[in-house]
Amino acid sequence: MLKTSHAAHRDLSLPIEQPVTRPDTKAQVVIRPLPAQARFSLRLNEADLEGAQTAAGVTLDIPINTRSGSAERSSIRLGPNEWLLTGPYDDAEVIASQIDAALSGRFYTLVDVSHRNVGITVSGRRAAEVLNSGCPLDLAEAAFPTGMATRTLMGKAEIVLMRLDDTPTYQVECWRSFSTYVRDYLIEAAREFEPSIA
């Protein structure tokens, strides 16, 4: 995507060098801003999913509000005709061309939102309680198992919340300008469990 002679450099919305909390195994909750990722908003009518169950290495034909794939490539189905696709930042062009190839002939739209969203992971024994400070959803195992992903709220900010693994690790995605609010809201909620938070 970049030309070789680029003079400009990136300034991420949230610094990623340091996790906000101690990363040691005893920590009850660890909050960590994520590095840059490639992200696309894919829109495709449900009827056009037939014959295009997979694209760009991820499964599209998954239930609404679930996520499939790996840390490398994932598809998150946010609604009947909306997916958030993610992958390594440098794969952006590859992902776009793979989607184009897989969906050609259908009506779909693909919009690059790599810079729109910011990701933060929240993991550890107390992660769900911390998230439930601002998120009104039921995050119990039965209601929000690994693989669940949905748009919802964190305090006054809209987020996409997904559960990545059984640690549990959750990923919170929000728009860039809300990222300090969301991070600080999580830090404030985590403080009682993780007094090491600065």
Partner 1 sequence: MLLVTCPYCGPRPEIEFRCGGEAHIARPAEPSKLSDKEWAEFLFVRTNAKGVFAERWNHAHGCQRWFNALRDTASDRFIQTYKVGEKRPDRTPGQERL
Partner 2 sequence: MDQAYRLPEGGRIDRKKPVSISFNGQTVQGYAGDTVASALLANGIHLVARSFKYHRPRGIVTHGSDEPNALLDVDRGRGRSDPNNRATVVEVFNGLAVASQNHWPSLDFDVGEVNDLLSPVIVSGFYYKTFMWPRTFWTKVYEPRIRAAAGLGRAPTVADPDRYQYRHAHCDVLVVGSGPAGLTAALAASESGKRVIIVDEQAELGGSLLHDVTSLIDGIPAQDWVRQAVDTLDSRANVVVLPRTTAFGYYNHNHIALAERVTDHLADPSSNLPRERLWQVRAKQVVLATGSHERPLVFADNDRPGIMLAESVRAFINRYGVAPGRQIVFATSGASAYTAAADAKAAGLAVSVVDVRSEAECGPEVAQLRSMGCEVLTGHTVVASRGRKRVTGLIVAPVSADGRVGARRTLRCDCVGMSGGWTPAIHLFSQSRAKARYEPSLDAFVPGTSVQAERSVGAAKGAYQLGECLRQGWMAGAEAAEHVSERTFDATNSPAGFKPVRVLPTDVNPKRLRAFVDFQNDVTAKDIRLAVREGFESIEHVKRYTTTGMATDQGKTSNMNALGLVAGTLDRPIPAVGTTTFRLPYTPTTFGAFVGPSRHHLFDPIRTTPIHEWAAAHGAEFENVGLWKRAWYFPKAGEDMHAAMARECKAARTSVGIFDASTLGKIEVVGPDAAEFMNRIYTNAWLKLEPGKCRYGLMLKEDGYIMDDGVVARLAHDRFHVTTTTGGAPRVLAHMEDYLQTEWPDLKVFLTSITEQYAVIALQGPKAREVIEPLVTDIDLSPGAFPHMSVRTGFICGIPCRLFRVSFTGELGFEINVPSDYGQSVWEAIFERGKPFGITPYGTETMHVLRAEKGFIIVGQETDGTVTPDDLGLSGLIAKTKPDFVGKRSLSRPDIVSAGRKQLVGLVTDNPNEVLEEGAQIVMDPNQTIPMRMVGHVTSSYWSSNCDRSIALALLAGGRSRMGSRVYVTTPTGFTTAKICEPVFFDPAGERVNA
Please tell me whether residue 150 binds partner 2 under the rule CB under 8 A.
no
**DSSP labels for 162-195?**
EEEETTTEEEEEEEGGGHHHHHHHHHHHHTTT-T
Please tell me whether residue 15 binds partner 2 under the rule CB under 8 A.
no
Return d(Cα 168, Cα 122) in angstroms, integer: 8
Identity of the residue, 125 or 156, whose beta carbon is nearer to partner 1 in the bound complex: 156
- E strands within 45-156? 54-55, 58-59, 66-69, 74-79, 82-88, 108-112, 117-123, 149-154
Return d(Cα 121, Cα 36) in angstroms, integer: 13
Interface with partner 1 in residues 59-88 (CB under 8 A): 64-65, 78-80, 82
Please tell me whether residue 52 binds partner 2 under the rule CB under 8 A.
no
What residue ranges bind partner 2 (CB under 8 A)? 1-13, 36, 41, 43, 81, 107, 109, 111-117, 129, 132-138, 140, 143, 155-157, 175-178, 180-182, 184-185, 188-189, 191-192, 195, 197
What residue ranges bind partner 1 (CB under 8 A)? 64-65, 78-80, 82, 136-137, 150-153, 158
